[in-house]
Chains A and B, each alone.
Chain A
Amino acid sequence: MFSDWPLLSILIWLPIVGGFALLAVGEGNQALVRKLALGISLLTFLLSIPLYTGFDTTTAAMQFVEKHSWISTFNIHYHLGVDGISMPLILLTTFTTVLVVIAGWEVIQYRVAQYMAAFLILNGVMVGVFAALDAVLFYLLFEAMLIPMFIVIGIWGGPRRVYASIKFFLYTFLGSVFMLVSLIYLYTQSGSFSILEYHDLAISEQAQIFIFLSFLLAFGVKVPMWPVHTWLPDAHVEAPTGGSVILAAIMLKIGGYGFLRFSLPITPDASRALDWLVIFMSLVAIVYVGFVALAQKDMKKLIAYSSISHMGFVTLGFFLLYTIVENTGGTQGVAMGIEGGMVQMISHGFISSAMFLSVGVLYDRMHSRDIGDYGGVIQVMPVFGGFFVLFAMANSGLPGTSGFVGEFMVILASFRANFWFAFLAALTLILGAAYTLWMVKRVVFGDIANEKVAALTDINRREFVFLAVLAIAVIALGVWPNPLLDVMHTSVDHLIQQAAGSKL
């Protein structure tokens, strides 16, 4: 029944229109606002499911395509479509938004309508980013995404929210400006803003290098990759829980997605020439940032650094192609690296959401993120403690949880490229467990540390719902990742062909 619906447009515009509707309802009726927000986000999520069930895994071509002329003078189109790379990310977006609405339910009392509206609009915009096949449309949505997040941090954020939100904005804006230059250059070369046409466009090596670097800056800041990562811990610390969740679960993924949609297929020769740079940055992210996480005293900062370290696996997995070919003479292992990175993105969406929501649960009660203020939480919040330990284990990459799948695949793939890549990446087994479980020891375990902890109450039904849903997701993906991998194969194979080719 959904086959002839403009599903992607619905997924973009339903939450955006819904968001503005909430603004129209205003702050007068909070109960109605919350229910509307939940209804819209839930409906959006349900409507995104047909993307999966109706997905044709046998073709690498774009599906659910919508194409209308928009600004014909510049050959700009309203062009949407998904493949096996973007479709899972759209589902992750709509899924996470529902959780964020539930998480903000009674926690947010100040300007509820605006809060909910920001996240609904963000939902639509992010779906649009993943679905856009026109460079101008992509760029507009890519930048538009910043505005609601900027507002979320700026209004509902912590004490240093102004510094954090400006840092966040400038950092990401700086990155994307150069991307815009590249996109305009590509337009002058091809006369089109179609991303798919760029995939087939011949570009000189020098131009490719510049384009690649501009993309690297734009997406590297988003991921974020070392050394352009320092905005993330600040943004997370100041953002309200919902903001952190969307930031970690979805917005970082847009960086990873960009490498697959833009860098590798548009500039394959530059990717070949500069893959060492990405791999180096990824390995530094995994090891160096893992150490930095160990030193954090603020729970959110710790999880933020942990995110950077885990996203290192994504970019590492994506750029193994050229070293694998050089080392083994074949492409065996390349798809595992890219698919591993993809799984890692989805898994990190679940786990980082869960970790930030867990910290949010504690913060709502204690108004502190400082590890030193806690201790023995499980003695008074046993149900919460159970969830927290589970998510911490997933964050440490325990087999049977989603956190294992992507790391496992990327490590196996990176071994084919170079022993030392795998060696350094596998250090996360030790570092990841060290920083995560040490935090667990200090926060959750132990005797009740102080009176404030003693007065804590266990999670309520609402909190139970979102933690339980995430727990199920984390375990389901860990026990059976194949349904997720199945939708990627054809698209990833197609991508490898593009990236392995030459455009000179």
Chain B
Amino acid sequence: MDLIYLLIPFTPLVGAIIAGLFGGRIGRKNAHRITIAGVAISFVCAAIAFKRFAIDGAEPLNATLYQWAFSDGIGFQVGFLIDNLTALMMVVVTFVSLMVHIYTIGYMADDEHNWPEVSLAGKNSYQRFFAYISLFTFSMLMLVMANNFMQLFFGWEAVGLVSYLLIGFWTTRETAIYANLKAFLVNRVGDFGFLLGIAVILMYAGSLDYAAVFGQAEQMQHQTMNIVGDAQWSVITVACILLFIGAMGKSAQMPLHVWLPDSMEGPTPISALIHAATMVTAGIFMVARMSPLFELSEVALSFVLVIGALTAFLMGLIGIVQNDIKRVVAYSTLSQLGYMTVGLGASAYAASIFHLMTHAFFKALLFLAAGSVIIAMHHEQDIRKMGGLRKYMPITYVTSLIGSLALIGFPGFSGFFSKDSIIESVAASHIPGAGFAYWAVLLGVFVTAFYSFRMFFLVFHTKERMDEHTRAHLKESPWVVTLPLVLLAIPSVFAGIFIDPLVVGEFFKGVIFVAPEHEAIHHLTEHFHGVVAFVTHGLTMPPFWLAMAGLVSAWFIYTRKPGIADATARRFNGIYRLLMNKYGFDEFNDAVFGAGFRKIGALFSNVGDRLLIDGLIVNGAAKVVAVSASLLRLLQTGYLYHYSFAMILGLVGLLGWFVLNG
């Protein structure tokens, strides 16, 4: 295998190991230099790979690195599959990661203030942070480059591990270490499904290598399996739904979305990298990668579609009532992940991956911009205490505007192309649930525009609501922070032009498989007459007008008539409270799974183990022995006259018995 492909995942790993194990010795500067160099090399190699596969049209590479395990005639390999999908993902991941690495120099510069004086864990926290994000980059690359399910699962869980470490990065904060445990456990629920899905695949395809499994897909479609009673389930449907449960965990789809808002307890750079741009899109990537399987099960696609639609619409609504700047962006991420999932369900895999890419750019941008605001505001995150920041932070302001416009799908910006591709595909889809999904994503456009610009106006416009001390220190962030903003803003605007070839072209030909009867994008391709025509056509379509309506309402309500928001909240108190409580998922989970599981554990421990097994059987047996021993002991008093009395009694008894029976 070409060395370049090996460098892509392994240089970040080397950087992570050096910065992680020897961070104290090499110091802060060397730690960020080494890790950034590692990711930069990785990015350059990924770009070269992209050129080879996507532009020069090289044949996909499917190569084994080493045999991880061999058992029962089945080989588990570690190996890479590099095709156009992988190449695109590698570039996106390494680019965003590189931006985040640079940004972190500024964001974590005075991290020691986030730790108590006595904490030794706070001493090398800067180096450790770089080690973690490089380790994350490695894990994510192993995930997207995998050519088999075992390695996919490795990457899948490894990114989860780093996410766990980074959400709880500030280990002294109770909220952070609650959030990371929650994130890990909720993801494990997804992984539980994922692992069973892998087991289905291995049983019916006899291999975990993608190529072999896809080759068996047709056969699996006609096989059935038995789970409950005599009902027969299509193997491919069971496998796809189980795999998708994994995606629901990682990509935070309802009802497994609950961990993502809480993950905002982690430092902002990782919210951008992990919880917006890359890790959470792993589920989207995985389903696109598995398109040859999902295409064979309409039931699974329908399931995907409906889950995605619910997430896209309902999570967007919560974004409207949030006041924490990062949580608004987090709910926005949930909603956008819902859009991508809807695209998958509508068989518009290419549109979803396209949206994944544009979203990676503009959402990373929005998060990093939010981080820039947070730095300037001295770690105040409540947007009600901001306002008028555009004067002080011009670069953050402009880049945030670009990010927001891209997010709401303003014509010409990258998000416009990708989101419209999804909406149009859903409109053309005939999969059960597509009608509902279409309305959900359409109305979602209004919601997206509304919450995005509500935040935008409250932060950058409107009157300054911060305290005097904070206002006096307001200033634009240093260049290591603003440079990544600018570099991310560029693709946030322009990446849309890649709609041809990504969506309407043949970029994913031979990589993503779409059954003829599911050709939703086909409709888009037929009517595509260039980027400019797509934009002008977009101006006449409902999504554009809904986005405008959302933007203008936000402008009117939050800059002109601030009273309306409160009045509406009072008028529709029930809905408002429902949204503030996030539909009650957290309360439900805490009560049923949190407290419930602990109670079951206590019950099993106290009643099952201690009372029944130990108390009744083990110690019970001991007691029986003790009691019978004490009875037997009565016979052994040691007094001669007792024994002789017993002997006489015995003799009399014996004689009597002989006499009576004689």
Q: Do A and B come from one complex?
A: yes
Binding site for B on A (CB under 8 A): 167, 170-171, 227, 230-231, 288, 291-296, 332-336, 339-340, 376, 378-382, 385, 389, 393, 398-400, 404-405, 408-409, 411-413, 415-416, 419, 422-423, 426-427, 429-430, 433-435, 437-438, 441, 444-448, 454, 458, 479-482, 485-486, 489
Inter-chain contact B69/A437, CB cutoff 8 Å: no
B605 with A382: CB separation less than 8 A: no
19 contacts between A and B (CB under 8 A): A171-B618, A295-B605, A333-B72, A379-B118, A399-B153, A408-B150, A408-B195, A409-B71, A426-B199, A430-B188, A430-B189, A433-B184, A433-B185, A434-B185, A437-B164, A446-B174, A446-B177, A480-B66, A481-B69
CA distance A292 to B608 in the complex (A): 9
Are A405 and B69 within 8 A (Cβ)? yes
Contact bitstring B234-258, A, C-beta under 8 A = 1, else 0: 0000000000000000000000000
Report the separation of the CA atoms of residues A288 and B597 in the bound assembly, to the nearest whole angstrom. 11
Q: Would B618 and A167 count as touching, CB distance under 8 A?
A: yes
* Chain A hits for B68, CB < 8 A: 479-482
Whether the pair B161, A393 counts as a contact (CB closer than 8 A) is yes
Q: Determine if B46 is an interface residue (Cβ-Cβ < 8 Å).
A: no
B residues neighboring A (CB under 8 Å): 66-74, 116, 118-124, 150, 153-154, 156-158, 161, 164-165, 168, 171-174, 177-178, 181, 184-185, 188-189, 191-192, 195-196, 198-200, 202-203, 206, 225-227, 597-598, 600-602, 604-606, 608-609, 613-614, 617-618, 622
> Which residues on A sit within 8 Å (CB–CB) of B174?
446-447
**B interface SS class:** helix
Q: How far is the CB of A370 from chain B (nearest CB, A)?
A: 15
- Minimum CB–CB distance from A499 to chain B (whole Å) comes to 15
Majority DSSP secondary structure for residues of A touching B? helix
Q: In the assembled complex, which residues on chain B have CB atoms less than 8 Å from the CB atom of A434?
A: 185, 188, 597
A446-B69 contact, Cβ under 8 Å, with A426-B195, A430-B189: no
Partner of B116, one of A295, A389, A448: A448
Q: Nearest CB to that of B66 among chain A residues?
A: A480
A437 and B185 form a contact (CB under 8 A): yes
A441 near B161 (CB under 8 angstroms)? no
Q: Which residues of A contact B609 (CB under 8 A)?
A: 230, 292
Q: Which B residue sits closest to A433, measured CB to CB?
A: B188
Which residues on the B side are within 8 Å of A481 (C-beta)?
68-69
Contact present for A294 and B73 (CB under 8 Å): no
**CB pair B71 A335 closer than 8 Å:** yes
Residue contact A376 to B73, C-beta cutoff 8 Å: no
Q: Give the complex CA separation of A435 and B181 in angstroms.
A: 11
Known A-B contacts A230-B618, A411-B199, A422-B196; the reply to A379 vs B613 at CB < 8 A is no
Quote the shortest CB–CB distance from B386 to chain A (angstroms): 29
Contacting residue for B121 out of A382, A393, A411, A485, CB 8 A: A382
Residue contact B605 to A438, C-beta cutoff 8 Å: no
Q: Considering residues B116, B124, B188, B600, which has the most beta carbons from chain A within 10 angstroms of its beta carbon?
A: B188
- Contact, CB under 8 Å: A482 / B69: yes
Residues of B within 8 A of A405 (CB): 69
Which residue in chain B gives the minimum CB-CB distance to A480?
A: B68
- Contact indicator B195/A441 (Cβ below 8 Å): no
Of B173, B598, B608, B618, the contact of A288 (CB 8 Å cutoff):
B608
The answer for the CA separation of A360 and B294 in the assembled complex, in Å, is 50
Residues of A within 8 A of B227 (CB): 419
- Pair A378/B72 contact, Cβ less than 8 Å: no
Question: Bound complex: CA of A382 vs CA of B118, how far in Å?
Answer: 12
Known: A295-B606, A419-B227, A480-B68. 7 other contacts (CB 8 A): A291-B597, A379-B120, A379-B121, A382-B121, A412-B199, A419-B225, A437-B181
Within the assembled complex, what's the spacing in Å between the Cα atoms of A400 and B118?
A: 33
CB proximity of A347 to chain B, nearest CB, Å: 12
Q: Is the CB of B185 within 8 A of A378?
A: no
Contacts of B188 in A (CB 8 A): 429-430, 433-434
User: How far does the Cβ of B588 sit from chain A's closest Cβ, in whole Å?
Assistant: 17
B-chain residues with CB within 8 Å of residue A171 when the two chains form the complex? 618
